[in-house]
Structure 1
Amino acid sequence: MAVMFAMDLSDGQHVETSGNGVIGRNPASHTPGTEFEDPAHIELVTVADEAKSVSRAHLAFGQYDGVFWVMDLGSANGTTITYPGEGTFACDPNTRHEVDPGSIVRFGNASFALSRRS
């Protein structure tokens, strides 16, 4: 059963999701690959970024067994996760990284805080 998560983005967007998606300046440019079990049903989250620090398709997100994950899609400026009380870690490209509720995910000059909805 899918769990509902919320992403509060630095640009003021509030996105609630129980599925998979792509975040970027133009996420529709992303061709879904093996990162999604069901590539036909993905959410696209567009982030305005005039400085172009965020790639067109910067990162993918989703969940597996109630655990939220992100995956940098080989972006130019990378993705980091700051875990509460544990520090900040850089994401290896094209690798799923678990994100705990309360964590901050930074991608280019943008970011989102993750929370779990009941």
Structure 2
Amino acid sequence: MSGEENSFAEPWQAQAFALALALQDKGLVSPGEWAAALGRERARVGVAADGSDYYHGVVAALEALLAEKGLADHARLAELAAAWHRAARATPHGAPILLENDPVGQHG
């Protein structure tokens, strides 16, 4: 593999992976806890032959760990995810997607 190949197809994939590493660096999650959470998620939903689902598993494992550790709860994470989806649909093509673009608002 050359040094120019990118293992992330989308920026959000790199951000999700970086968040997993940051949680470990801060001592909030051990490498073993992270590996176990990701393994549980991959076992729960299965694995696509082409690996395209890997980073969705990373996000699901992060959400599970955050809830397990009391750092976030599933309801709040679902609420924020829905807000980001609404904001994306309300954002003109080519413009940055901002949570403030959610027409429902109130994300404090």
TM-score norm. by structure 1 comes to 0.27
Higher normalized helix content (fraction of residues): 2
> Relative CO higher for 1 or 2, CA cutoff 8 Å, sep ≥ 6?
1
More strand by share: 1
Larger radius of gyration: 2
